[in-house]
Amino acid sequence: MTSAPQPSKQAKTVDVSGDPVRLRRATIDRWTRLAKRVGYLSFGVSIVAVFSGLATSFTPLVGQLATGGLVVGSILLAPSIVLGYAIKAAEREDRLNGN
């Protein structure tokens, strides 16, 4: 039994033709989604590094990977999460106002 394909959350399309603000917002949205992916990946690298260091020997390289993953993830995720919520709120406001 097959069902209709579900649209993914990433496959959002917004009509940005003729509106430079919405075009810029869509560009920022693409960059924030990329930053979120890389940020969460950095956290994942950090977690894997810590657990592999605990399972084997915790070398300075493992510590640097864990620390680097946390730093890069934090730097990328903090602004991208805030910007993501701001973009969603602005789009919702535009829909409510009929724009």
- Is the entire prediction scored with pTM above 0.85? no
- Give a yes or no: residue 57 inside a domain: yes
- Give a yes or no: residue 41 inside a domain: yes
Task: For the chain, give the number of residues.
Answer: 99
Residues in contact with 13: Cβ distance below 8 Å, sequence separation at least 6, in sequence order: none
**Tens of each residue's pLDDT in the chain, 99 residues:** 566 555 555 545 556 667 888 999 999 999 999 999 999 999 999 999 999 999 999 999 999 999 999 999 999 999 999 999 999 999 999 889 887
Range of the domain at 66: 20-96
Region for 13 from its dihedrals, namely left if φ exceeds 0, alpha if ψ lies in -120 to 50, beta otherwise: beta
- Give a yes or no: residue 58 inside a domain: yes
81 within 8 A of 36, measured Cβ to Cβ: yes
- Give a yes or no: residue 88 inside a domain: yes
The CA angle 8-11-15, to the nearest 5 degrees, is 140
pLDDT at 4: 58
- Give a yes or no: residue 77 inside a domain: yes
77 within 8 A of 35, measured Cβ to Cβ: yes
Q: What DSSP state is assigned to residue 26? A: H
Instruction: Tell me how many domains the chain contains.
Output: 1
- Give a yes or no: residue 87 inside a domain: yes
Q: What DSSP state is assigned to residue 7? A: P
- Give a yes or no: residue 71 inside a domain: yes
53 within 8 A of 44, measured Cβ to Cβ: no
